[in-house]
Structure 1
Amino acid sequence: MRRAAAVIATGALVLLAGCSGEDAGGSGDREALAPAAAPAVIDLAVAHGAADVSPVVPLEISVTDGQLAGVTVTDGAGAAVPGAVADEQAAGADDGAQVWTPETALAYGTSYTVTATATNEDAEGTTATSTFTTVAPETLSTPGIGPLDGQTVGVGMPIRVYFDEPVADKAAVESHLQVTSTTPTDGVWNWLSDSEVHFRPSTYWPENIEVTLDADLYGVDFGDGVWGEKNRSVSFSVGERHVSVADAASHTMEVYDGDELVRTFPMSAGGPEFPSRNGAHVVTELNRDRIMDSSTYGTPVDSPNGYRTPVEFAVRLSDNGEFVHAAPWSVAQQGRENVSHGCINLSTERAAWFFDFSKPGDVVEIENSLGPTLSAADGAIYDWAIPWEDWQAGSALE
């Protein structure tokens, strides 16, 4: 019996020892076999060796299995380019990507190197590098813009952008022409030619508002080797609503200040041989004294219908020779018949009042004339003669 008890006791000790050893050994094995963290992987959106890159392309950096630790950018001479990674993902960046942005835009025709570092969960580092070259444009273009910065204009003045080179990629350019106003409008761009684009609402601008055009064209590819030279911003004011109605049938011009009719003038419009153009004319120029010269629209001064006449208080309505101006020689016909060469004739006193009342961008709507509607053939601003649906179709964007 003592021998049997000893055997049982020995077996129990062995069993206990075995159980104790398995617990300790199993825990240690699991710790030793824990997998290492995956290395961080960096993806640079601008590939190494890329050429003809826009200097404003977003320098996107994506990190998988880790966190971005730092980004440096140097130019071809090795000089550091000041900049920083945005705190938040930039608009338009791929999901999860961060964007390094320079303090000032990168230059054209320059080599740059981007170096990004990242760490994984075990704080182990990874580095990725990309060297690329920005495009060297054949031609740089800066457009002219009207109205001018700080100018006050009337409710009929469209925004006009003129390019010195034809624009091949109109959609790219138009997408970088952003218009904002203190009273929002439904305005749309319309390409009148390959080198001229205008912006207007469906109806005249609201009066007494502020309008800003941000033409962010630096680094934009216009197509055919032409790139944007710089960004421009123009802010202007739209003043009081001045819309006059010149009725060639009744030989009167009604002048409105806002919704109030403030003057009704007898006038003489273009006669049968030289009828005024119908439609909304936009005031573009005011001359206290001017020489009216028929040769400026193709009629020689020494021809039977030619003339070279000094006039006062000339308010230009188009580039085809149409003005509102003083015409003391036709006072007897004003209010009775149309005898001008296309202009709106007023007495000197009335023309002086209208001259002082007017500003560029005011509107004179000519109606019931024997002439055609204002069009591209008349130059200057014929924007309001284009039906709204046709105007919208002139945009390069959907």
Structure 2
Amino acid sequence: MRRTAALVTAGALALLAGCNGGDERSSAAAPSTAQSAPAQVQVAPADGSVDVSPAIPVEISVTDGELAEVTVVDAAGAQVPGEVADGDTEGTEVWAPESPLAYGTTYTLTATAEDAEDDPVEATSTFTTVTPETLSTPSVGPLDGTTVGVGMPIRVYFDQPVTDRAAVESHLRVTSSTPTDGVWSWLSDSEVHFRPSEYWPADTEVTLQADLYGVELGDGVWGEKDRTVSFSIGDRHVSVADAATHTLTVYDGDRVVQTYPMSAGSEANPSHNGPHVVLESFRDITMDSSTFGLAVDAPGGYRTDVEYAVRISNNGEFVHAAPWSVSSQGNANVSHGCINLSTERAAWFYDFSRPGDVVEVQNSIGPALSASDGDVYDWAVPWDEWRAGSALK
């Protein structure tokens, strides 16, 4: 949005001249006085501006004087409460409303300055904020107040493609009690995730400030409101599922707490390699091959009731109880891509796990986890590639 400044200049220079009388010897020059330079006031948005973001800073700069008063009224003449503070550049001050300006509303700003002789100078700007075609609030995960594992990225989902990724990303601010090198990365025009180069530090408090009110998201869609989400990172739970040794090693922090025999995906349906993130858990669930395109009655198809199922990707991979494969657990990979455990061991893992915990699958003959596997494949992306996905260079 083009922003211009309105310039109002007031003041006059008075010239006093003396007259001489008599001859040259008796003549004397009359004294003269020079007035100080008049104050000059500039304001932005400029007078007559339209389609102004209601979140844009209202700036006032004064030359050869000091700002004395700022008032803002709406179209009905009602005064808008606000305060003046120093701006980011020297000599500039910013008026900030107590509550955000409204969309589709006309405002009049009057700024009064005084020069060295206390003579007032006034600048006025009447501007109109944009009227959005649609207002939208993106979805955010994790949810406010939750506790998640060290592998859970921050995820922001928009209802429509974002046209200015940099503008939106600059209004997504992440702070944490333990500082990290986290970076946003755009997975698509409507989805952006935040993660550090390594898993989150355990026992960390994280806050996302999504200050998107007054930000254009794309094609006439504007941010409906600002939103703050705070969540906690819990204990470090990172398990290693080794398809070559058929072993699931479970860590609580740096300590190994379980080493279980397991069965990973078969040659026909290999598990995907890479860091998987626990998404949700089910005490009982019916698994159906048709959910990923294989008919139940097709060769290899299935429909099975399963206990203690911990989802680790959106491509159908779980850690779950598989009493039918106990004889293969620890020596062969026979599953459809899941990590099979005995019922007792799966029950323990189910109780141990929370969303955001990590299961690193390694030495499978399958491909690496990727975008085709659903929402959270973030840790399978190399760090340099992840950073390249940011719109802020």
CA distance in 1, matches of 2:244, 2:300: 23
Q: Which amino acid in 2 is paired with 1:44?
A: V
CA distance in 1, matches of 2:73, 2:122: 15
Answer yes or no: is 1:192 the counterpart of 2:191: no
Q: With the length of structure 2 as denominator, give the TM-score of the two structures.
A: 0.92
Q: Please identify which structure carries the higher helix content.
A: 1
**Count of aligned positions:** 370
How much does 1:36 deviate? 2.2
Q: Percent identity, please.
A: 69
Matches for 1:1-398 after TM superposition, within 5 Å: 29-30=30-31, 33-86=32-85, 89-91=86-88, 94-398=89-393
Contact kept in structure 1, 2:44 and 2:125, CA below 8 Å: no
CA distance in 2, matches of 1:38, 1:390: 57
Q: Please state whether the residue corresponding to 1:295 is helix, strand or coil.
A: helix
Q: Please state whether the residue corresponding to 1:276 is helix, strand or coil.
A: coil
Q: Deviations over 1:129-150 (max 9, x none)?
A: 1100111112222110000111
Q: Where does structure 2 lack aligned partners over 5 or more consecutive residues?
A: 1-25
Q: Which amino acid in 2 is paired with 1:148?
A: L
CA distance in 2, matches of 1:223, 1:321: 33
CA distance in 2, matches of 1:42, 1:380: 52
Q: Please state whether the residue corresponding to 1:191 is helix, strand or coil.
A: strand
Q: Please state whether the residue corresponding to 1:204 is helix, strand or coil.
A: coil
Q: Deviations over 1:200-248 (max 9, x none)?
A: 1111111111111111111112232222111111111001100000011
Q: Where does structure 1 lack aligned partners over 5 or more consecutive residues?
A: 1-21
Q: Deviations over 1:107-135 (max 9, x none)?
A: 11110000111111222111111100111
Q: Which amino acid in 1 is paired with 2:36?
A: A
Q: Please state whether the residue corresponding to 2:111 is helix, strand or coil.
A: strand
Q: Please state whether the residue corresponding to 1:329 is helix, strand or coil.
A: helix
CA distance in 1, matches of 2:92, 2:284: 63
CA distance in 2, matches of 1:377, 1:124: 69
How much does 1:394 deviate? 0.5
CA distance in 2, matches of 1:125, 1:369: 78
Q: Please state whether the residue corresponding to 1:255 is helix, strand or coil.
A: strand
CA distance in 2, matches of 1:179, 1:165: 23
How much does 1:199 deviate? 0.5
Following TM superposition, where does structure 1 have runs of at least 4 consecutive aligned residues deviating by more than 3 angstroms? Answer: none
For residue 4 of structure 2, what is the aligned residue in structure 1?
Answer: none
Q: Please state whether the residue corresponding to 2:248 is helix, strand or coil.
A: strand
Q: Deviations over 1:315-338 (max 9, x none)?
A: 001111100000111111111111
How much does 1:39 deviate? 2.1
Aligned-residue RMSD, C-alpha: 1.6
CA distance in 2, matches of 1:126, 1:345: 79
Q: With the length of structure 1 as denominator, give the TM-score of the two structures.
A: 0.90
Q: Who wins on radius of gyration, i.e. which is larger? A: 1
CA distance in 2, matches of 1:83, 1:174: 27
How much does 1:380 deviate? 2.1
How much does 1:103 deviate? 0.3
CA distance in 2, matches of 1:393, 1:38: 52
CA distance in 1, matches of 2:294, 2:330: 27
